[in-house]
Amino acid sequence: MCGIVGYIGSKEAYPIVLNGLRRLEYRGYDSAGIALFDGAQLHLCKTKGKVNALAEKFAAQGVPQAQIGIGHTRWATHGVPNDVNSHPHTSNSGALILVHNGIIENYAALKTVLQQRGYVFHSDTDTEVLVNLIEEVKKTNNVKLGKAVQLALKEVEGAYAIAVFDQSKPNEIVVAKLGSPLAIGVGTDEFFIASDATPFIEFTNQAIYLEDHEMAVLRLGREARVRDLKKDARLDSAIQELSLNVEQIEKGGYEHFMLKEIYEQPRAILDTFRGRLLPEEGIIKLSGLENHMSRFLNAERILIVACGTSWHAGLVAEYIFEEWARIPVEVEYASEFRYRNPIINKNDVVIAISQSGETADTLAAIKLAKSHGALVYGVCNVAGSSIARETDAGSYTHAGPEIGVASTKAFTTQITILTLIALKLAKEKGSISQSVYQQHLYELQQIPQLIEEALASDATIKKIASEMVMAQHALYLGRGYNFPVALEGALKLKEISYIHAEGYPAAEMKHGPIALIDAQMPVVVVAVNSNHYDKVVSNIEEIKARKGRIIAIVTAGDSVVKGLADHVIEVPKTTEASSPLVTTIPLQLLSYHIAVMLGRNVDQPRNLAKSVTVE
């Protein structure tokens, strides 16, 4: 997820674009750049690092007077964060300048064709391919920029929000949208462009939000001309009057980043699947894994090292890998692993899971594993992070920046990537049949929609939260794939509401914890359809017999548990292996609402930090 900003009008473009990028840094912050045209020449400045680094670099080279400009703050998908991969990107002739938020899935094929036509590429990005494709189409068809963008996008597969201008006609900016957000701020003979309205809300509250497959030519002296790319027809796009303030818009209108990120999970999983889960072709594409497939296939075991929520994702992966790929998996707290002098064989494969990519214990565990000759594979959410750079290979989750300290969309996108890895390995090993493999591909494709359905229970969950808010302690129980979900649910409650909570395997109650059960103890049980559903029902009956207050997560339509529990929260039916991706949703919302009702600082809970970069 990246942030794009643009301006054309009579004001100075630079401060508008620069401050606009600062407001969009929550969308990505590994590199940034701005291009300005002063009427005579282009001034381009881009750099690895945050927007402040860009401001310093631009100041050093001198900022021109310019009334047209575009800028970008990057969340790397193709090409590591460095100066040359930063946006804006210019075409080979230098005439066209473009910024892009999204992923061009067929960029490699397009790049090959352009190279055959003599185009030279300086970066590893899909965006540089796009700006040169537009140039090639413009040249060969002898059309204006707007038409060239329209024709070029017909050849593009993937997601984009783009802004592009032509130095030879600096009185217009062309924008287009598919899959990534793009807002147009409409002023008096001036236009603003941005990924959301925060960069221009102080200048105008008149906005056009482009829909998918729409583009617009923003030319000074006339109204925005919006076009439907599918129908190839002009649209009278409705101008909306915005009533939000800056902070609300950064949070997408949600009260907290955590709630926004809980609701972003369908999109985050879609973005993580994009270009990788291809059911129609019957394949999973993971280049990092493909480059090391023999090491994985010959591994006698897989070690998973992580901390916190990422460790819980690793526990889910243990069930998936062992059931599907039949490879022994051991999941270790990185902090324990790094100091207990573990046995690490050179044919071991270690998977390191980390949202931030900066967790000190996980980084240390990686270095220890590498020193023993193990292959280390990273599952990270921050491109170019320390862990991403230290591991031998890896796959990024495309969750976008996770601002809330309590991890939510990182957890579900980590499980998503780990599921793809396990499924691809199982197929390569022949430990699952082609038909079972294909069935899993289609089932995974449904997950974003199933999470949307789970989110629809938010109001019910909020009511149940009001009955838990005075609890001093809580127990979370689950079995099989949902035992790690119980641990994760307990962690969510602890870290944002400060209520003590413990997660246990449901069957473990009899071995001690059941002594805790009384009428004051809420017990959250994940009791969805599974191989051991009847056993979980028995566990619920044991708790009920001791007057425990039971909140159960059940498969939609369940009537058995509904007759036993004090409250049920329904989630859509899924396969057992996919169930953590939906059962975790109500537990995230439950902890969120309890914390809000207690007046906690949900996005920045006490004593915590988003990334634990110290031991």
- Minimum CB–partner distance for residue 496 and ligand AGP (Å): 8
State which residue, 309 or 583, has the beta carbon closest to ligand AGP: 309
CA of 282: how far to CAs of 33, 266, 279, 461, in Å? 39, 22, 5, 37
- Minimum CB–partner distance for residue 576 and ligand AGP (Å): 24
- Minimum CB–partner distance for residue 516 and ligand AGP (Å): 24
Q: How deeply is 370 buried, as exposed, middle or buried, from its count of CB atoms within 10 A (0-12, 13-18, 19+)? A: middle
Query: Is 45 an active-site residue?
Result: no
C-alpha span between 369 and 295 (Å, rounded): 15
Contacts of 510 (CB under 8 A, 6+ apart): 542
State which residue, 143 or 612, has the beta carbon closest to ligand AGP: 612
State which residue, 260 or 427, has the beta carbon closest to ligand AGP: 260
Taking alpha carbons only, the member of 100, 95, 96 closest to residue 85 is 100
Tokens coding 260: 């926004």
Report long-range pairs for 507-512 (Cβ below 8 Å, ≥24 apart).
507/479, 507/535, 507/539, 509/477, 509/539, 509/542, 509/543, 510/542
CA of 31: how far to CAs of 25, 75, 334, in Å? 10, 8, 29
C-alpha span between 122 and 364 (Å, rounded): 34
State which residue, 127 or 356, has the beta carbon closest to ligand AGP: 356
Tokens coding 502: 């413990």
**Which residues contact ligand AGP (rule: CB under 6 A)?**
307-310, 354-356, 359, 362, 405-407, 495, 611-612
State which residue, 575 or 611, has the beta carbon closest to ligand AGP: 611
Instruction: Return the ∠ at Cα 419 (arms to 417 and 420), rounded to 5°.
Output: 65
Tokens coding 500: 């003590």
State which residue, 389 or 567, has the beta carbon closest to ligand AGP: 389
Q: How deeply is 57 buried, as exposed, middle or buried, from its count of CB atoms within 10 A (0-12, 13-18, 19+)? A: middle
H helix or E strand, kind and range, residue 178:
strand 172-178
- Minimum CB–partner distance for residue 310 and ligand AGP (Å): 4
Tokens coding 380: 């990270």
The neighbour count for residue 169, using CB atoms within 10 Å, is 11
State which residue, 307 or 415, has the beta carbon closest to ligand AGP: 307
Catalytic residue among 139, 429, 573, 610: 610
State which residue, 406 or 590, has the beta carbon closest to ligand AGP: 406
- Minimum CB–partner distance for residue 312 and ligand AGP (Å): 8
Instruction: Return the ∠ at Cα 571 (arms to 566 and 574), rounded to 5°.
Output: 135
- Minimum CB–partner distance for residue 309 and ligand AGP (Å): 3
- Minimum CB–partner distance for residue 487 and ligand AGP (Å): 11
In DSSP terms, which residues pair with 306 in a beta bridge? Answer: 333
Alpha-carbon dihedral angle through residues 558, 563, 567, 569, given to the nearest 10 degrees: 0
Q: Indicate the angle between helix axes 409-429 and 434-455, nearest 10 degrees.
A: 170
State which residue, 243 or 607, has the beta carbon closest to ligand AGP: 607
- Minimum CB–partner distance for residue 497 and ligand AGP (Å): 13
- Minimum CB–partner distance for residue 224 and ligand AGP (Å): 41
Strands (E), 373-456: 375-380, 393-396
Residue nearest to ligand AGP (CB): 308
Catalytic residue among 2, 45, 307, 380: 2
Which residues have a catalytic role annotated?
Answer: 2, 610
